[in-house]
């Protein structure tokens, strides 16, 4: 792999950009791999990357039914933060956030990590108490957050309306090192690094069956023929229930559509990420100038990647009160992604009833921010059979009542 650098840009400029290589190979599948990862989104590619980088396992295939990064990795609002209440969540999300800090250097690929700061607005008395509690919890967890006054919020976000009649801004939980990154670049950067280590990324290859023999996965049936493996990782977000059924076990999970939309590009007006969980809207401004707005999840199961229109209406209605200037914006695009949600709204990174099959799913509405931490932990789990970061995120926690209850702690908008 040729490294990307300022020198490379200069060199290619002098020869009409004829020397750039393809970022990753697109090989035909081999008959057997040590590890098969199903799902070439951020989480799957990160898992493969850290399997290679941290454990030297490079005979790996990453199988993807569509194109890489075309699922939720390409559909999220790119927010990165780690201000969670519960210790296990704070640990894995902070691991992820810290890996984002050095990801561009690590991958030699500019993922445009921008630690611009994330504010979660408190708009009710309950939220004030909740976020103060989270700030204290974060202090104990080593996650840098602070409770800030409404005046400080206004200073950081001049376009905000503090005194809305229905949703006044009463303060905020501020994480200065939270921010955004270029979502596609995260998938592309990992894919390039994986391919460079000799891993095969097999796109447009749908897994149609999982061959289980004597309680272990022997391989998968795909639209490009059967492929054998010693270990398998399921990292398929919205389709996790569907895939696990092929392997003969069920998951405590439901899939729903989550929506986002962007406005027309405007001049820079807000250089942080603002989340308002009471009204279920969050907004940041992309480098292109579009206001990127995240909405709510549908109430009922579906796999449509569209979402119900009235959720958009609710989100925008609330935003218009908090940010009056939004009322003058035209919205350009709207889309949906299928998120898989567990009973306690926390992910599963776990062994499964099938011996050599591991699962990483259930990130629900908060998957993008966790990509590197999730991949790091999943790789450790798959390579060594144990990872301290995943200890609490087992499938069995529902039976044991050991929930990681973030739907209450962090609000609904992740």
Partner 1 sequence: MLILECPYCGVKAEETELGAGGEAHLKRYGPGSDDDQFHDYLFMRENPKGVHFERWRHSNGCGKWFHAARCTMTMEVFGTYSAQTYEPPQEIKDKITAKRPGWSWREFSDASE
Chain residues binding partner 1 by CB under 8 A are 239, 241-242, 250-255, 299-304, 308-310, 342-343, 398-399
Least separation in angstroms between residue 387's CB and partner 1 is 23
Nearer to partner 1, 43 or 311 (CB): 311
Least separation in angstroms between residue 399's CB and partner 1 is 5
Least separation in angstroms between residue 254's CB and partner 1 is 5
Least separation in angstroms between residue 365's CB and partner 1 is 16
Query: In terms of C-beta density within 10 A (0-12 exposed, 13-18 middle, 19 or more buried), how is residue 320 classed?
Result: middle
User: Which of 313, 336, 325 is closest to 274 using CA atoms?
Assistant: 325
- β-strand pairing of 348-351 with 281-285: unpaired
Nearer to partner 1, 176 or 254 (CB): 254
Least separation in angstroms between residue 99's CB and partner 1 is 31
Altogether, the residues listed in the chain come to a count of 414
Nearer to partner 1, 137 or 316 (CB): 316
Q: How many CB atoms lie within 10 A of CB 26?
A: 12
Nearer to partner 1, 289 or 343 (CB): 343
Nearer to partner 1, 52 or 307 (CB): 307
CA angle 331, 336, 340 (to 5 degrees): 150
Nearer to partner 1, 64 or 298 (CB): 298
Residues 6+ apart with CB under 8 A from 41: 64, 68, 69, 70, 71, 72, 73, 187, 235, 236, 237
Least separation in angstroms between residue 209's CB and partner 1 is 15
Residues 6+ apart with CB under 8 A from 199: 48, 52, 58, 59, 60, 61, 62
Least separation in angstroms between residue 249's CB and partner 1 is 10
CA dihedral angle for residue 60, residue 65, residue 67, residue 72, rounded to 10 degrees: -100
Region of residue 251 (left: phi > 0; alpha: psi -120 to 50; beta: else): beta
293, 315 in Cβ contact below 8 A? yes
Nearer to partner 1, 78 or 239 (CB): 239
């Amino acid at each position: 792999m040729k490294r990307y650098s300022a020198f490379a840009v200069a060199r290619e400029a002098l020869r009409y950009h004829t020397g750039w290589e393809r970022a990753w190979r697109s090989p035909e599948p081999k008959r057997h791999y040590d590890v098969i990862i199903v799902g070439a989104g951020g989480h799957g590619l990160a898992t493969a990357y850290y399997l290679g980088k941290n454990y030297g396992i490079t005979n790996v295939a990453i199988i993807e039914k569509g194109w890489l990064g075309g699922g939720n990795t390409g559909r999220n609002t790119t927010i990165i933060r780690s201000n969670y209440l519960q210790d296990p969540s704070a640990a894995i999300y902070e691991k992820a956030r810290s890996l984002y800090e050095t990801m561009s250097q690590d991958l030699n690929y500019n993922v445009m990590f921008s630690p611009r700061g994330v504010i979660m607005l408190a708009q009710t008395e309950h939220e004030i108490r909740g976020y103060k509690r989270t700030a204290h919890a974060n202090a104990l967890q080593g996650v840098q957050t602070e409770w800030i006054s409404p005046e400080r919020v206004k200073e950081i976000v001049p376009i905000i309306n503090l005194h809305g009649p229905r949703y006044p801004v009463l303060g905020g939980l501020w994480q200065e090192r939270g921010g955004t990154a270029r979502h596609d670049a995260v998938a592309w950067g990992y894919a390039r690094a994986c391919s460079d280590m000799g891993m095969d990324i097999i796109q447009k290859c749908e897994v149609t069956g999982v061959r289980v023999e004597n309680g272990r996965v022997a391989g998968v049936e795909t639209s490009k023929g059967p492929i054998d493996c010693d270990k398998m990782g399921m990292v398929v977000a919205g389709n996790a229930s569907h895939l696990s059924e092929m392997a003969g076990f069920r998951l405590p999970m439901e899939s729903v559509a989550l929506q986002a939309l962007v406005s027309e590009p405007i001049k820079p007006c807000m250089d942080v990420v603002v989340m308002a969980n009471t009204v279920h809207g969050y907004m940041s401004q992309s480098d292109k100038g579009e206001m990127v707005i995240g909405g709510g999840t549908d109430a009922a199961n579906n796999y449509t990647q569209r979402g119900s229109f009235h959720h958009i209406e609710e989100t925008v209605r609330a935003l218009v009160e908090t940010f009056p200037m939004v009322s003058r914006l035209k919205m350009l695009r709207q889309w949906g992604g299928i998120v898989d949600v567990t009973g306690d709204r926390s992910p599963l990174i776990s062994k499964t009833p099938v011996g050599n099959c591991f699962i990483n799913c259930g990130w629900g509405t908060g998957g993008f921010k966790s990509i590197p931490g999730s991949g790091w932990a999943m790789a450790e789990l798959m390579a060594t059979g144990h990872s301290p970061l995943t200890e609490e995120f087992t499938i069995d926690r529902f039976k044991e009542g050991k929930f990681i209850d973030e739907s209450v702690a962090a609000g609904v908008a992740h």
